[in-house]
Amino acid sequence: MPRPVPNVLLLTGALLLPASVAGAQVQSSITAFAAPLQQGPTPTPLPQLHGFFDGALSAASLAGIAIGLELPVTRQSVPAPGLDPSTIGWAIDRDIVGHPSTSADEASDIFLLATALGPPVLALATQPGLHGFGERVRRPVVLYGQSLLLAEACVQLLKPAADRARPFTYLPASERPSDGSYDVTTRDAFVSMPSGHSALGFAAAAYAATDNLLARPGAGAAEHVAVASVGALLAGFTGNLRIRADQHFPTDAIVGSLIGTASGVSVPLLHRYLLPGGRGAPHPGGHAWLMSAGGYVVGAVAGAGLSSLVY
């Protein structure tokens, strides 16, 4: 039976739009390579690091990850017919159980890697090293790492709190793939909510767009929208592949995408971007944020839709 995808896409878009507008930015993309994005020696602002704050945020995130991985979860005994699907609360989640795609499971890791590589590659392509190569790379990488760590900490702390079995545990044993990632006897089989792949993918996408807006406020709407939409497209592709693989429910992916978006947007916004000499960089106007937010949502929905056509 074909899986109902449009409702998932609409719900994802409806939730991501206010999240991205409220956070005031958005995402990643490798389309910046296609055009000469830097005309002339325009100074590129760099984020100002704060030793204590940045260290505390990173340490707290690492502690959250470690604690979350050690928290207990309820491991159910999965019978041969699988867990009872009628106990799944949301119809949008019940309807996707069945026909897991192992190729989608494998592809989700590849798309997550591609999404994660977007921000550093984009920064190198669009931000000239007027401050020296070391500073040009070190400062954005610190913020990017903080965004990913914060998203992962939220995921690992929420997983045991939600204590939710993955979709494949509701399948009969004869329909479950033999791959180890579908083993119903492990702790991992009962930490479905939220989706870590979605959280990390959207954190990367949101960070790339936010950094692009703050570091290149005068780049123009075309670049900002391209960065937001392509990054979100990859992240949306990644998140929906996890659904197609029966590794996550749609609501798992939606919650993960919101966590990632909030993390990727908030970390750059908590830092000042400075021009050479210490002067604060101008912020782009509200129109730029809205254009990027629109591109972000369209990209996320398009990525989810395309992955449903391919897998």
pLDDT, position 107: 96
Percentage, residues of the chain above pLDDT 70 = 82
40 dihedral zone (left: phi>0; alpha: psi -120 to 50; beta): left
Q: Is the pLDDT of residue 238 over 50?
A: yes
Per-residue pLDDT tens over the stretch 174-183: 999 999 999 9
pLDDT tens-digit map of 64-107: 999 999 999 999 999 999 999 999 999 999 999 999 999 999 99
User: Which band of pLDDT confidence, cut at 50, 70 and 90, is reported for residue 136?
Assistant: low
Secondary structure of the chain: what % helix, strand, coil (to 5)? Answer: 65, 0, 30
Q: What number is the average pLDDT over the span 32-54?
A: 65
pLDDT, position 139: 83
At residue 219, the pLDDT reads 86
Residues in the chain: 311
DSSP string, 208-223: HHHHHHHH-TTS-HHH
- At 246 the pLDDT is 97
**pLDDT grade for 134, boundaries at 50, 70 and 90:** low
Residue in the block written with tokens 């090293």: 129
pLDDT of residue 275: 87
Q: Are 282 and 290 in contact (CB under 8 A)?
A: no
CA 241 vs. chain centroid, Å, equals: 13
Average pLDDT rounded to a whole number, residues 266-282: 89
